[in-house]
Chain A
Amino acid sequence: MDSSFLNMEFLIDTFFVALSGVPVALLVTVVAMAIALPVGFFLALTRINEIPVLNWFTKIYVSFVRGTPIIIQIFVLYSVIPLILSGIFEKYHIDYPVYDINPLWYAFIIFSFNTAAILVEVFRSALKTVSQGQLEAAYSVGLTSSQAYRRIIIPQMLVTALPNLCTATINLIKATSLGYAISLQEITLKAKVAANVGYNYLEAYIDIFIVYMILCMTVEYLFKLFEKRLSRYKYTTA
């Protein structure tokens, strides 16, 4: 056994192994966000405008996602989706091995499903901060609803939503580490697999730790820059 407390060579080698999982983690984050942003926004509108049925559906969906651990959502969807798919495939005589589907697809579905619910609440609270009067003013000068939202409401809503969006994005990046449960080739899984050989778990965990930290701090910084740009109108002085 190595006399030193940490196996430095393994620590450094595994850092790059962990780093090689970053593209998958980022891909899942970006795809999940790309789906969750519009879906979350649309569902937030159904809540704010109290659209019959949909409003009610959204409420239950949000409570369900917030009220259950992600890891359990992952297990449930990972078991349920193949069942549904095999039923569909059988019915339409599609010859495809359901259990060979790349876990990446499950990750996209699970994390979109989860993040959209979080974003409903982020957008709902942010939309409420833009005064109803501005929407009416937009109507009164002849804008349609979609023009008013695109040009007046959303740009202001985003400024308020951005800190929470940043938190949601970072939480999502960290949550992709749960992808190891469905054999997703991301940061945590790769480093842990490397550690299995010589039981260097502590080194692997330190590497994972550092990689996530760098990743999340970078994202945080980018959001800060974006927020500064979007909120120019709020902080200019006369």
Chain B
Amino acid sequence: MLEIKNIHKSFGKNEILKGVDLKIDKGDVVVILGPSGSGKTTLLRCINFLERADQGSASFGEVTVDLKTASKKEVLAIRKKTAFVFQNYSLFNNKTALENVAEGLIIGRKVLKHDAYEISKKALDKVGLSEKYDSYPIQLSGGQQQRVGIARAVALNPDIILFDEPTSALDPELVGEVLQVMKEIAKEGTTMLVVTHEMGFAKDVANKVIFMDGGNIVEEGTPHEIFITPKEDRTRRFLRRVLPGEYDFEI
């Protein structure tokens, strides 16, 4: 359904992505792991044209676009097939929760106002915010804001939702509610590409795990393959450091 080929991206002299290939099928929940600076977020942002790649192509079903030279029209077309959940929620602060979710439907996709609000209410219900339709972002907790962010993505009914470290900016006690929502929409068959540091989510929900380092995909496979029987030494070292209970340093 989504196929990324040979994506390269540098910021100045710093090469962030060094030719990444990626294939995602409909209904897949793909989790990307890796140390910071490994290019995970940049990969996601290039797919949605929030950054311009230096090279590479993306195919959504029949449609193939060049990630470097895509026209404004192509960019808009791809963005309409995708949705993005941001690390810092990035809700529209001047709009209520309901308006936040409906904005992309009404303006971006030209859905009738009445229908858009119906869809948006359902999306907010799904993330457990039926009581908060008319709240402004400033009135919501971080976890609630991020759930609005997820509702905003879900309401668009995109081919794929891209999650960029959706729980990294949250207080630890609020992480659970967001992961729970993500788990539920994954169960409904939503195709998801998730950058996260939540190993539990990767183990339980993903059907494919990708380990990135230094701008390359080091290893990919099922959660079992990556977490239990990793082949690459680099993967093993990373997991040893992030998985709890197996400290390899002394205090």
Contacts and interface: CB of A to CB of B under 8 A. Distances in A.
Given A137-B92, A140-B82, A140-B83, A151 B107 contact: yes
A137 B91 contact: yes
A133 interface: yes
B193 to A, nearest CB: 13
Contacts of B95: 152, 233
B50 A139 contact: yes
B29 interface: no
B108 interface: yes
A139 B72 CA distance: 11
Contacts of B89: 133
Nearest to B103: A141
Contact of A143 (B50, B103, B138): B103
Contacts of A136: 50, 84, 86, 90
Contacts of B108: 141-143, 147
B83 A141 contact: yes
User: Looking at B49, B80, B92, B109, which has the most chain A CB atoms within 10 Å of its CB?
Assistant: B92
A129 to B, nearest CB: 11
A238 B140 CA distance: 8
B48 interface: yes
Contact of B136 (A142, A143, A233): A233
A49 interface: no
B104 A143 contact: yes
B14 interface: no
B104 A141 contact: yes
Contacts of B82: 140
B94 A236 contact: no
Interface in A191-238: 233-234, 236-238
Nearest to A141: B104
A133 B139 CA distance: 19
Contacts of A63: none
A163 to B, nearest CB: 17
B86 A133 contact: yes
Contact of B94 (A144, A233, A237, A238): A233
B93 A151 contact: no
B241 to A, nearest CB: 29
Contacts of A139: 48-50, 79
B139 A142 contact: no
A138 B20 CA distance: 27
A234 B50 CA distance: 28
Interface string A133-161: 11011111111100100011001100000
User: Looking at B83, B94, B104, B138, which has the most chain A CB atoms within 10 Å of its CB?
Assistant: B94
A144 B103 CA distance: 12
A140 B139 CA distance: 23
A131 interface: yes
A222 to B, nearest CB: 21
Contacts of A131: 88, 90
A62 to B, nearest CB: 28
A139 B50 CA distance: 8
Interface in B131-187: 135-136, 138-139, 152, 156
B139 A236 contact: yes
A238 B79 contact: no
Contacts of B109: 142
Contacts of A238: 135, 139
Given A133-B86, A136-B86, A238-B135, A144 B92 contact: no
A155 B80 CA distance: 24
A140 B138 contact: no
A70 B86 CA distance: 47
A150 to B, nearest CB: 9
A151 to B, nearest CB: 7
Contacts of B104: 141-143
Contact of B50 (A140, A156, A236): A140
A142 B104 CA distance: 6
A147 B79 contact: no
B79 A140 contact: yes
Interface in A1-38: none
Nearest to A157: B94
B76 interface: yes
Nearest to A130: B93
- Would you list the 4 A-B pairs with minimal beta carbon distance, nearest first? A142-B108, A141-B104, A133-B90, A140-B84
11 contacts: A134-B90, A138-B92, A139-B48, A140-B48, A141-B83, A143-B103, A143-B104, A151-B103, A233-B94, A233-B96, A234-B138
